[in-house]
Amino acid sequence: MSESTVVSYSVRRALPDDLGAIARIELDSAAYEGRLKPLDFSLGELERLWYDRLLSGQFDVLVAVAGHTVLGFIGIIAPSGKDGFIQAIYIDPDFYHRGIGTALLRASEKIFRSRHCPRVVLYVEPLNHNGKRFYAKAGFVATAKKFRHLSVWVKEIASC
């Protein structure tokens, strides 16, 4: 699908058939993160990782789709009554700046709220300036904390 053919998209739960596209999108998008350490997975390894996450019951994985084409995804952990965590959010680089990331965040926030997560936490690469702007615009705040080399950002669910 060329980017000019996308008229609308919807967000739904990921299916096992989506995992190849999810892995490809993560690999393709990693080049735009300003990673200090390279993403050290093959396409097959990432597909298996997301398969394991999807079937573990610990992760909720949502995809933005136009027809049968996955345009982006978000993987979250939303334990009832505890802080939620965004494991990954990636958009196909051909479809940046179309509101897809915002739609995925909003859909995930509904899950966090429904499970009474007080906050949402995510980690950001220090050189991912586009990501930092995106998260700040969405209401996330950088903390002084680090996880390895990554910046820790949080959002109070009450502000969702």
Kindly list the structural domains of the chain, giving each domain's residue range(s) and its CATH number in brackets, ordered by start.
3-116 (3.40.630.30)
User: Is the separation of the CB atoms in 153 and 123 below 8 Å?
Assistant: yes
Q: What's the pTM value of the predicted model, to 2 decimals?
A: 0.90
Q: Note the Cα 101 to chain centre separation in Å.
A: 8
Digit-coded pLDDT (tens) for 110-122: 999 999 999 999 9
Rounded CA-CA distance 23/106 in Å is 22
Q: Which two tokens stand for residue 123?
A: 């980690």
Nearest CA among 109, 121, 128 for reference residue 145: 121
Digit-coded pLDDT (tens) for 14-60: 999 999 999 999 999 888 887 777 778 899 999 999 999 999 999 99
pLDDT of residue 5: 52
